[in-house]
Chains A and B, each alone.
Chain A
């Protein structure tokens, strides 16, 4: 049993890999952990600030990161040398960042994702159960309700944005033995509703646009995570809502509230409930439950 703290993970030596002539991929660990992710965040933020000549893209991911560069200006080995020295210097427990905490209302077991998942039963591990029923049982929950309470019961950190613009991968901010883990679909679906809440591996994803997908489907949010025309006020600075390092709190809502929020979103009048906080990894590692409570107070 866990003592309620986040067990720190000793990371292996990073793997520095060439991606053709113009990318470097760095895998910090094969397994997901807050240590691996915070290190990826810290190194990528640091390398951006160093404004090394020749950088094109700097993208943190869950337990790794990816850099594109102009090899005419920066030799890949020179870049890797720089990354190695950052890797030595950075201690994630000293590292802090400004995170936004977002309230994300979710209608779990909604009619739209339920229709979709029923259409693709033959691609699923358990054709006779819904994705929620399957995941609840696999993770040892007595009921779907208890499973939903768990998913909505502690906030999730955005550990990567990608696949398509604005899609957040989120890792629940609880000790490892409280984390949900589920397989992806055996064969990916060819359809997923927009704003679906999915889960695969150890990650929750919010699908910004309709499309293919392999994550288990749990619900749908009425709010957007991508607003290409930047009409909603929360999108003034960017067409995507969360950044890596932000925190999402999934809040279970009913159909009535879903419809109300959706109407406001479609009108362009919806005001997201979010606040900026200073995130301190060390405090979170020591007492995640207490720290999460404190984080969520800003949404009241």
Chain B
């Protein structure tokens, strides 16, 4: 597959790189795991195969051999040889065909899955691109015009998938802006009133929203915290703590709230007050700059239920797509 135009930010991603958080290595991987996995299943791949993640404005690519592909996630009005093609659907392309995209009309990130997956050498068990230190993906960076990406051997099912499609009901609604959060970590630093104001406020996704984290604009946060004599080693600001680990999905209060995403900084000295539940990290990855997000506090049992609902939905999609090959 050849990249004719890299779009805004296009990287190779997969389900992520695990087991290295203690050396400061975030998982990376597709920001919207749901769209990534479903895209892979649509073309007969394993969910861990590598796809292309495109941001706001997709890439233009040329297929170098006959193949089956699918586009999931945000709608960027994909066109194959200038003809509109459906999203969330397996499509056949011939050698030499060009796939192009427009600016996303809803959501932020689209995934291009190709039968066989992007077949580059994994780094520490993953093909996910982590640009900060330049590892994974294609040369550890965003794709540019002229890049050539090798594609793996398609599975035996790939051809039979052509035309298979995900039910409307199982395509996420990317206009949704309610994000479920388990409050906790160091939220004891918030006053009761501060906690309430944090949860009630309208938070706008700022233009500093990328794979590392989403920074939000809203009310002043400094008066949401309890004054205290700062503990030894924490630093002097009311939002400082002795440097600690930040979960992916956690909300750190560094002047403004920042929710850490899949290329997270893994730790630091700002207070964390809660964590977005994992399915809603996918949803947040599709929230656009300037959109308003509503944080909804849930307890851990609710969080586990939200996860189970998502898993059940994924299983339904996977089963229906497996039936398509029979």
Contacts and interface: CB of A to CB of B under 8 A. Distances in A.
Interface of A: 15, 17-23, 25, 27, 29-33, 44, 56-66, 68, 71-72, 75-76, 160-167, 169, 171, 176, 181, 183-184, 188, 200-203, 208-209, 211, 214, 226, 228, 238, 240, 243-244
Interface string B56-95: 0000000000000000000000000000000000000000
Given A58-B22, A202-B232, A21 B306 contact: yes
B276 A20 contact: yes
Contacts of B140: 228
Interface string B158-189: 00000000000000000000000110111010
Contacts of B236: 183-184
A247 to B, nearest CB: 17
Interface in B256-275: 265-269, 272, 275
B231 A20 contact: no
Closest 7 CB pairs of A and B: A32-B233, A162-B267, A66-B245, A202-B233, A31-B231, A20-B275, A57-B21
Given A19-B249, A64-B245, A201-B233, A162 B182 contact: no
Contacts of A214: 269
A296 to B, nearest CB: 24
B269 A32 contact: no
B137 interface: no
26 contacts: A18-B184, A18-B275, A19-B184, A19-B249, A19-B250, A20-B278, A23-B248, A30-B242, A31-B233, A56-B18, A59-B267, A66-B245, A71-B307, A160-B245, A161-B22, A162-B245, A162-B266, A165-B23, A165-B132, A166-B23, A181-B233, A184-B269, A201-B233, A203-B233, A209-B132, A226-B133
A19 B183 CA distance: 8
A99 to B, nearest CB: 15
Interface of B: 18-25, 132-135, 140, 181-182, 184-186, 188, 231-237, 240-250, 254, 265-269, 272, 275-278, 300, 303-304, 306-307, 311
A163 B244 contact: no
Nearest to B249: A20
A164 B24 contact: yes
A32 B234 CA distance: 8
B230 to A, nearest CB: 9
Given A56-B19, A163-B265, A17 B242 contact: no
